[in-house]
Amino acid sequence: MTYRDSTIGVTTVEDGSSLFHGIDDWRTSTFENPKATINVGTSFSGIGAIEHAFQRLNLNHEILFAGDIDKFVKQSYFANYEIGHRHWHSDIHDLSAKKFNQKIDLLVGGSPCQAFSMVGKRLGLEDTRGTLFYEFARLVNESKPKVFIYENVRGLTNHDGGRTWQVVKDVFHDLGYKIHFDLLNSKDYGIPQHRERIFVVGFLDHDVSFNFPQPVELERTMQDFLEDYTESKYYLREKGIKFVTSTKNRLKRYTQINGAVALCQKANQQFNWHGDFVFDDRELKTDFDEFVFDVSEVEEKYYLSPKVSKYVLAGGTKNFKTSTETDLAVARPLLQSMHKMHRAGVDNYVTHRYGRIRKLTPRECLRLMGFRDTFKIDVSDTQMYRQAGNSIVVDVLIAILKQMDITKFGR
């Protein structure tokens, strides 16, 4: 079993030796069997990071089961993915995966970290009963997926002096899987957020060769993911653009674009496409790496009042000091408690519109977790902040799926 220090690109074997391997750019790799269908099972599913990853990759997949205990998460999930209610479990304890034995190609989940009793225990699968990790391991054991991905917070690796992490590895090994694990940071995979998580990838076939995807240079900042505050009503849709830019229309000088001298203003110009127009090089949609953002206004409710701004930007007290830095290029880790107002050293705040401070919008938080604007927000802001903060970063999952070529495990 190996892990890789993502800061230096070195693969380290557990006996302490090191293996250097060449840089492989997973971004340009192609899928061996792009028409394959991948059967997916998830638990502790949240808002469906792996499901959204498959959507972004445009890969055929079928969700055989998914679930989460939070009813608001279920609401978001059903608003965005096609899954029948009979395939959803609200309590993982009630799900038996035996009927999915050898039908699951990929199982994904990440249970909350819990301590295991260490006194007089063999520390196998049976000895982790009563923990949520046991429930995920039980699903692995019952369904025998070809591949599983287990994600958790960085603290799992040193929890209880490292003993909890050792149990996790031993259990997966005892279930018959060859595992690889690594600490991955989303800022190394295209998302400007400092978010470190431990990923365990297990293969039922021990002959499968796998290295975690190499980090890539971060080309965007948090500011690239912010919503624009120019109201979308001032932008022409496709039909209007075709009319304004048509040769026939411009020859008749009904309209002009970026004219040095304005045409005669019309009383009804807000209702038609005659008059003066300017070209905005931001475009109605900003599209990079398939990341499509709608231009929209940031609502007033996200701006901080003078009283709250004063608190947010306070450097702390005698016993507590914090950073007052805002407008970061790489965001601080998004929290499931973002609906609350933390100090600037904890949360992310931006200066927008005439120097006013505001918090990130739920849509911006989703973007910083790798969710495209096609993801429907069907819950309150409070719930959406929680759900975004609890999710796995989609881009990291995409890197892993491309690196292993998930289509080789499809059918």
Domains of the chain: 2-217+390-409 (3.40.50.150)
Rounded Cα distance, 406 and 242, in Å: 41
Structure tokens at 362: 């739920």
Structure tokens at 60: 């055929």
Residues 6+ apart with CB under 8 A from 97: 41, 65, 104, 138, 139, 142, 143
pLDDT of residue 21: 37
Residues 6+ apart with CB under 8 A from 350: 222, 223, 226, 326, 327, 357, 358, 359, 360
pLDDT of residue 293: 62
Rounded Cα distance, 86 and 70, in Å: 17
pLDDT of residue 11: 38
| H or E element, residue 251 | helix 247-251
Q: Which of 204, 115, 129 is nearest to 162 (CA)?
A: 115
pLDDT in tens, 43-60: 999 999 999 999 999 999
Q: Which of 141, 193, 225, 105 is nearest to 392 (CA)?
A: 193
Query: Is residue 113 flagged as an active site residue?
Result: yes
pLDDT of residue 267: 61
pLDDT of residue 353: 62
pLDDT of residue 216: 95
What's the CA angle centered on 130, arms 128 and 131, to 5 degrees? Answer: 65
Encode 168-181 in three state secondary structure.
HHHHHHHCCCEEEE
pLDDT of residue 152: 92
Rounded Cα distance, 392 and 151, in Å: 8
pLDDT of residue 89: 95
pLDDT of residue 280: 52
pLDDT of residue 10: 36
pLDDT of residue 130: 73
Collapsing DSSP to helix, strand or coil, 409 comes out as helix
pLDDT of residue 374: 93
The parts of the chain modelled with pLDDT lower than 70 are 1-24, 116-124, 228-239, 250, 252-254, 258-296, 353-354
Please list the alpha-helical segments (H only) found in 21-156: 49-57, 71-80, 132-143
Question: Active-site residue among 38, 113, 377, 379?
Answer: 113
Structure tokens at 349: 């705040």
Q: Percentage helix, strand, coil, to 5, in the chain?
A: 35, 20, 45
Collapsing DSSP to helix, strand or coil, 320 comes out as coil
pLDDT of residue 15: 37
Q: Which of 26, 58, 57, 54 is nearest to 41 (CA)?
A: 54
Residues 6+ apart with CB under 8 A from 107: 40, 41, 42, 43, 139, 140, 143, 145, 147, 148, 149
